[in-house]
Amino acid sequence: MKRASLLLLFLAGTLINPLISLSYSGAIAGRIKVTKSLTKRRVTFSPYVQRGAALPLLPEVSLPVDDEFSRIAIYLEGPGLGPSAPLVAQLDQRNQRFEPEIVVIPVGSTVSFPNSDPIFHNVFSLSKPKTFDLGYYPAGQSRRLQFDRPGIIQVFCHLHPNMSAAIVVTPNQWSTRPRDDGTFVLSSIPPGKYQLVVWHKSAGFFRRKVEVKDGTAVSMDFEIPIRESSPEP
């Protein structure tokens, strides 16, 4: 809930800021177009089922496979973009899944990893910006980690290979997620030359150079995956 509140505040700021800040800084607005389903449905099956206490029934409805926008993070890279205040986010282990699939935080932020399942998970990451192994801890307990280096941290569970999530640690405060219709806005950007980064959990990185001028809004659309004929700005 805490993380959700922070996210809402951040989104609200992102929506309101362009109206009041375009006069002394620039903005980038655009839309993400996902041209095909990138997240495959798959089957996992364990031939050796662990014995133990009965597990609760998993929800019938799985996460929508076509909700590709929820697997996208957008952020800005470049000189002169200072770090922002760190956040506290949460990556829950619930129903043998990570919730949410993607956490976007600025560098220096902390992520808590509560276990909400009656079974053990063994959360780990071998990603370069942060390697960790949280070990085993029971339902109701949590572990916390601070992320001091920007980058993508892929998170998995040793015991349940179907569980995967990503923590996107952005180098500054200029980051956002696309809305339900794929549109996004980054506002209050100091004038300068930057690189706009769109990262999709399955498709990876998409980068474009962008120059932000004082008092203007740059329009920038992305197609994922990028078609070869897509013009570079």
Partner 1 sequence: MILLLRLSVRTSLAAFLLGMARLIAATCLVLLLPATYAHAQESDFGVAVPITFTGEGIYSGRLQEEDPDSSPLAPAFRAVLYPSVKLGRHWFGSATLQIHSTPFFYEETYEPYRDVETNLLQALAGYSWSGEKKSFTLKAGKMMTAFGAFPLRYDDNSNSLLDVPMSYGYYYKPVSLYGIPGIEFDASLNRFDTRFQLTNSAPSNPQGLRSDSQHAQWAVGGGYTIRQGLRIGISAHRGPYVDREDVSPAQWDRAADLPATGVGTDVQFARGRWSLAGEMQRFQFNKLDASAVVAHYGYGEVKIILTPRLYAAARFGYRRQDLRPSRNSTELTVGIRPNRFQLVKIGYLWLRGEGVEGSEYDVFGVQYVTSIQAISKAFRQGTAVCCQLPPQ
Query: Should residue 55 be labelled a site residue for partner 1 when binding is judged by CB under 8 A?
Result: yes
Q: Give yes or no for a contact between 206 and 198, defined as CB atoms under 8 angstroms apart.
A: yes
Query: Should residue 60 be labelled a site residue for partner 1 when binding is judged by CB under 8 A?
Result: yes
Which of 86, 192, 221, 225 is the binder for partner 1 (CB under 8 A)?
Answer: 221
CA distance 56 to 123: 20
Spell out the residues 6+ positions from residue 115 whose beta carbon is closer than 8 angstroms to its own. 93, 121, 137, 138, 139, 140, 141, 142
Q: Give yes or no for a contact between 185 and 18, defined as CB atoms under 8 angstroms apart.
A: yes
Query: Should residue 39 be labelled a site residue for partner 1 when binding is judged by CB under 8 A?
Result: yes
Query: Should residue 17 be labelled a site residue for partner 1 when binding is judged by CB under 8 A?
Result: no
CA distance 203 to 228: 15
Q: Which stretch binds partner 1 (CB under 8 A): 9-17, 120-128, 144-152, 208-216?
A: 120-128
Tell me the sheet residues that pair with 183.
31
**CB-nearer residue toward partner 1: 110 or 124:** 124
- The site for partner 1 (CB under 8 A) is made up of 31-45, 47-58, 60, 62-69, 71, 118-120, 124-126, 131-133, 135-139, 154, 156, 161-162, 164, 181-183, 201-202, 221
